[in-house]
Structure 1
Amino acid sequence: MITSREDLDAIKQSCQAMVTNSSRLSAGAAIIPLPGVDVGSDVAILMRLIPRINHQFGLTPEQIESLDTEAKLFVMTAISNTGSKMAGKYITKKLIVMLLQKMGVRVAAKGVSKFVPFVGSAVAGGISYTAMKMMGNRHIEDCYQIALATLENDRELVVVDEEKPLSHDD
């Protein structure tokens, strides 16, 4: 459970390390000079990575579902406000492929570059690393903003409750 900004910052750092490792795996797969192998591996990597990031920030569908109604509504509103396509969602192959297609220029460039001997594989690896890192870090930032808003909302609720005057019946 996230109880402070320090907790949130530690989770962000941990997730950034996961993204870096996943980006290295993606780059390694992109170096293999077989068109299509890298996209398939990117999908597999993201299908593992995104749910792990969501879990770290308390934003899996199951974690959100376990919240009380008011908290759930706040989190879903925060997700909507960030425009996140992956926070609080079940991550499917179809969703990942759609998001990769939005990055289509990079994916296409990566595929074409494999046909240039030696240098092409290195370029494909660099493009793959950068695209995976960008996509992962963008998702981390979305999750961070959602979790921060939720944390600040929880603090405001506690302060309001503490300031509430006692009635004669209490």
Structure 2
Amino acid sequence: MGILNSAINIATNAMNKDQKVKKEINQLPKNESDLIDRRERSEKLIHNKSLMSSAAAVVPIPGIDVTADMKLMSDIIEEINAVYGLSHKQVSGYSDEMKQKIVFSAAKTGSDFIGKKITKGLVAVLFKTLLRREVLKQSKWVPVIGQAVSGTISYYMMQKLGKAHIEKCEKVARELM
């Protein structure tokens, strides 16, 4: 998994350089336009990660797609949290009062990810949701068409995960504005 992680990190860094992604440390969105800007940045991030997932799904080596998806899901959640100022590192730098507000708002939203460090255990929970998809992805053994179907499903699932997480982060950020 080390080589695959390195390849994913290199691809991510290359995409981030092209987009000139700016990182805001310890800043929550201040207004609606800031929130819209962060949503757009997050959607670009999701699109790029979804393309990587789709590319990994097309490779006809068993297990590569699942390993790549686990890494990409973890990255999507961590990076979206950072875009909204809700990563574990950022939250730990806030005042105690702000931490309480974030934890309360995240609990109310029902998010298991906001303000928490992503652990292998959380990724394992996400992995279970992939099992349904994996049954469909076994169609990859049917040449060309199966690979196209597998890549499309992979792209769609990454998009769905990312957009759901953006909604949760936005809801928490709105409550904190």
* CA distance in 1 between partners of 2:100 and 2:59 (Å): 45
SS in 2 for 1:114: helix
Equivalent residue, structure 2, for 1:90: 117
* CA distance in 1 between partners of 2:131 and 2:120 (Å): 16
User: Which structure has the larger Rg over C-alpha atoms?
Assistant: 1
Kindly report which structure 2 residues correspond to 1:18-167, keeping only aligned pairs within 5 A, or say none: 18-110=45-137, 112-151=138-177
TM-score of the superposition, structure 1-length normalised?
A: 0.83
Contact 1:35 1:114 in 2 (8 A): no
Structure 1 residue 17: deviation in Å?
0.7
* CA distance in 1 between partners of 2:68 and 2:92 (Å): 30
In structure 2, stretches of 5+ residues that fail to align are 1-26
* CA distance in 2 between partners of 1:108 and 1:85 (Å): 26
Match of 2:44 among 14, 17, 26: 17
- The one-letter amino acid paired with 1:32 is V
Aligned residues: 150
SS in 1 for 2:112: coil
TM-score of the superposition, structure 2-length normalised?
A: 0.80
Contact 1:34 1:114 in 2 (8 A): no
User: Could you list the per-position Cα deviations for residues 28-70 of structure 1 after superposition, in whole angstroms to 9, with x for gaps in the alignment?
Assistant: 1000112211010111222322211111111111221222222
Contact 1:31 1:121 in 2 (8 A): yes
Identical amino acids, percent of aligned pairs = 34
RMSD: 1.3
